[in-house]
Amino acid sequence: MAKKDVEALLIAGGEDKHVRALYDVPGSEEEFVALAAENGYDFTAEELTSVLRESGDVFEKNGNPPKRSIWWA
């Protein structure tokens, strides 16, 4: 179930710029996971890392303003 929640959030961010903007704010994976939990997603930082690794994505922010490139379209 947790992997599905990570994937659902990454898809939601790919479809909605407001979701992306909200989740580009947290500075750490733990803060990202805590925000996700507040919004009904249930996964750990380790599960997030695993899904991102499998898809070849990196959690770190890039650009100015800093944004994540983890969102699935």
For residue range 3-40, what is the model confidence (pLDDT) as tens digits?
999 999 999 999 999 999 999 999 999 999 999 999 99
Domain ranges of the chain: 2-68
C-alpha to C-alpha distance for 45 and 23, rounded to whole angstroms: 14
Judge if pTM exceeds 0.85.
yes
Say which residues have a Cβ less than 8 Å from residue 45's Cβ, sequence separation at least 6.
29, 30, 32, 33
For residue range 39-58, what is the model confidence (pLDDT) as tens digits?
999 999 999 999 999 999 99
C-alpha to C-alpha distance for 24 and 65, rounded to whole angstroms: 10
Q: Quick one: pLDDT at residue 10?
A: 98
